[in-house]
């Protein structure tokens, strides 16, 4: 009988040990990925409104300057093009989408500077930012601007061929300050 009690105690200890080893502890967010924990890893902020020479026919001479921030310790790669210095650091490729709950508010969806077959890549190091501009009329109420990017460890050919995960950073027109016309 004594050996049965000992066997039961051993069985109980082993069971409790295994059960507690399998209990998941809540994981803490990685504090090493972001350089500033109060900001997203990659984000776009508003800089200013101003005069801007049109890059394409049909654009107004009013622009919005935005800044894309890399708040990680890794480089990110962006498809980009060269632009006049007055337009920012790079010409950014982006898409525009309707995000309004009332799609009728957005009559004509503007076309962004979408990625084509020819482009350059721009490497943005961790902790740095890049300034770019867009025609003002491309960010009316109810529109979101999206920029694709990849991380330095991802194969760029696979990224742009769709064989790798796609990352995007967004800027909502609703974040723009209201201007008097």
Q: How far is CA 140 from CA 4, 30, 57, 82, 134, in A?
A: 78, 36, 19, 25, 12
Local confidence pLDDT in tens for the 181 residues of the chain: 676 666 556 665 656 565 555 555 544 445 578 888 999 999 999 999 999 888 878 888 899 999 999 999 999 999 887 876 777 878 888 889 888 665 555 556 666 655 555 567 889 999 999 999 999 988 888 899 999 999 999 887 787 777 888 899 999 999 999 754 4
Q: Does the predicted TM-score (pTM) go above 0.85?
A: no
Phi first, then psi: what are they for 105, rounded to 5°? -65, -30
**Angle, CA 78 vertex, CA 172 and CA 68 arms, to 5°:** 40
Token pair of 144, please? 């979101």
Q: What secondary structure does DSSP assign to 112-176, as a single string?
A: -----S--EEEEE-TT-EEEEEEEGGGS-TTEEEEEEEEETTS-HHHHHTTSS--EEEEEEGGGS
The backbone torsions φ and ψ at residue 34, rounded to the nearest 5 degrees and listed phi first, read: -90, 145
Size (the chain), residues: 181
Cα gap 110→143, rounded to integer Å: 9
**What is the sign, positive or negative, of the torsion defined by CA atoms of 143, 147, 148, 153?**
negative
51: Cβ contacts below 8 Å, ≥ 6 apart? 61, 62, 63
- At 3, which helix (H) or strand (E)? helix 2-22
């Amino acid at each position: 009988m004594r050996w049965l009690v000992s066997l039961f105690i051993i069985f109980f200890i082993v069971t409790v040990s295994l059960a507690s080893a399998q209990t998941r502890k809540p994981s803490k967010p990685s504090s090493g990925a972001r350089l500033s924990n109060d900001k997203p890893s990659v984000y776009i902020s508003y800089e200013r409104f101003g005069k801007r020479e049109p890059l394409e026919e049909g654009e107004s001479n009013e622009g919005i300057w935005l800044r894309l921030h890399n708040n990680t310790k890794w480089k990110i790669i962006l498809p980009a093009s060269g632009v006049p210095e007055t337009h920012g650091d790079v010409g950014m490729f982006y898409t525009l989408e309707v995000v309004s709950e009332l799609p009728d508010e957005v009559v004509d969806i503007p076309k962004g500077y979408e990625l084509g077959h020819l482009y350059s890549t721009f490497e943005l190091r961790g902790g740095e930012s890049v300034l770019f501009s867009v025609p003002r009329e491309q960010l009316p109420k109810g529109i979101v601007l999206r920029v694709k990017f990849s991380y330095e460890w991802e194969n760029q050919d696979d990224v742009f061929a769709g064989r790798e995960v796609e990352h995007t950073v967004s800027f909502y027109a609703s974040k723009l300050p209201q201007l008097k016309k």
